[in-house]
Amino acid sequence: MKLPVVDSTTVDSTAENGLSGESDARQHLLDLSTEELKAWIADHGLPAFRAGQILNWVFQRRITDFHEMSDLPKKLRDELDAAFRIFVTAEQEVVESSDGTDKLLVRLPDGGEVECVLLRDGNRRSICVSSQVGCAMGCVFCASGLDGVERNLTKGEILEQMLRLQARLEEDERLSHIVMMGMGEPLANLDRVLAALSVAKDQHGLGISPRRITISTVGLPKAIDRLAETGVPYNLAVSLHAPNEELRSELVPVNKQVGMQSVLDAADRYFASNGRRLTFEYVLLGGVNDSVEHARELQQLLRHRNVLLNVIPYNPVEGLPYQTPSSRSIARFREVLEAGGVNVKFRQRKGSDIDAACGQLRRNRSK
Ligand code: SAH
């Protein structure tokens, strides 16, 4: 079902955001660690606490022009402006859905494009952020990976999506959750994703508890172990999409190299390491993975695990042969799992009137 397009607006704001900065040699401030910023400030003969003030302006007060940072000495503001840019991307397209979902198509300095989304649900203000331009995982139903991966995003480019979405909130709205569920495979760009998230969770950064941050992965066991080793209790969501090896290898090609059991084992180790309940994602594709038999197999796989199964009815991608399942088969699928004691949630499709499923906005524009 498509949501009615009531107040969707498309704003091509390239001009006002100015892409003149493409030849700009200044460094991306958001790529620096706090230590690097402090060192730069020390080199300029000033005390380290100035770094905290700058971060406070950018992350809490949403200021992106050094000249507006009124508690910094004028000379420092000028020097910062000469050395750094705070935003390096441009909002190529802004789409607002009638259900409170905002989606941005962000253009990177090298011309690449990624999507990110703000979702409003009750008091929740969640943002969905991309980690790569394109994706190498090749999930057969997903728009993001149709042309493969171009490159990893930098730490600063990941943070900038968060800041751009935060900037869309009203005074009385607060960012509450972050999901790394945009374009790309976050665990294939783990170092930069972790660097960005460490700022997102920092009190001087966005101040979002890691318990409200979810990293979604196709399931790369070694990287899941590395994530566990950080000791930070991020939520892990594993995109399962099939209840057996054969079907999973068909839908999620990387499974052929990895194997479903080793994905499940790594997820179990992650749970053992920090006790955070795992989420498994299951995109329900009509006539492909939505039968009663599939539901039974899935129930067998999950019933002894402390997991939330997040079932997402397929959001159709033009040109791909997959379909949203009928409401009858969705209900049947649900019944089997619920009767089998699996903790299951059926995700509401949000923002489908604005192509909010990852990769679709970019794709539809480039056609
Ligand atoms: N690479 C990560 C993040 C991908 S996007 C991962 O695989 O988890 C987050 C989720 O959306 C994944 O579960 C992905 O498989 C799913 N998804 C991709 N395309 C979709 C579509 N058209 N409809 C519904 N879900 C989709």
Q: Is 115 a catalytic residue?
A: yes
Report the half-sphere exposure of 34 (CA within 13 A, side-chain side).
20
What was the pLDDT predicted at 22? 54
Q: What is the pLDDT of residue 8?
A: 39
pLDDT band at 60 (very low <50, low <70, confident <90, very high): very high
Q: Does domain 90-366 have CATH number 3.20.20.140?
A: no
For the stretch 204-244, pLDDT in tens is 899 999 999 999 999 999 999 999 999 999 999 999 999 99
pLDDT at 330: 95
pLDDT for the residue 353: 58
Q: Which fold has domain 25-85?
A: DNA polymerase; domain 1 (1.10.150)
Q: Which of 281, 318, 349, 361 has the most ligand 1 atoms within 8 A of CB, as the residue to mutate?
A: 281
Same fold, 25-85 and 90-366: no
Average pLDDT, the chain: 91
Q: What pLDDT, on the 0 to 100 scale, is given for residue 348?
A: 66
In this structure, are strands 84-85 and 27-28 parallel, antiparallel, or unpaired? parallel
Which DSSP string do the residues of 68-115 spell out, in sequence order? G-TTS-HHHHHHHHHHEES---EEEEEEE-TTS-EEEEEEPTTS-EEE
**116 belongs to the catalytic site:** no
**Angle between helical axes of 221-229 and 260-274 (0-180°, round to 10):** 10
Whether the pLDDT of residue 15 is over 50: the answer is no
Please name the residue whose Cα sits nearest to atom 5 of ligand 1: 181
The pLDDT of residue 347 is: 78
Indicate the range of 15-29, 161-175, 311-325 predicted with least confidence. Answer: 15-29
Cβ pair 322, 290 in contact under 8 A: no
114, 278, 283, best to mutate for ligand 1 pocket (most atoms within 8 Å of CB): 283
Name residue 94's beta-bridge partners: 11, 104
The stretch 150-178 carries a mean pLDDT of: 97
Whether 157 contacts 149, CB under 8 Å = no
Q: Which residue's CA is minimally distant from atom 3 of ligand 1?
A: 181
Q: The whole model's pTM is what?
A: 0.92
Q: Which helix (H) or strand (E) holds 125?
A: strand 124-128
* Ligand 1 atom 14: residue of nearest CA: 239
358, 363, 364: residue to mutate for ligand 1 pocket, most atoms within 8 A of CB:
358
Nearest CA to ligand 1 atom 12: 239
Residues 6+ apart with CB under 8 A from 163: 30, 58, 59, 62, 64, 87
Q: What is the 3-state secondary structure (H, E, C) of 216-278?
A: EECCCHHHHHHHHHCCCCCEEEEECCCCCHHHHHHHCCCHHHHCHHHHHHHHHHHHHHHCCCE
Question: What's the pLDDT score for residue 364?
Answer: 66
What number is the average pLDDT over the span 191-198?
A: 98
- The domain spans of the chain are 25-85, 90-366
> Of 91, 93, 113, 115, which is the active-site residue?
115
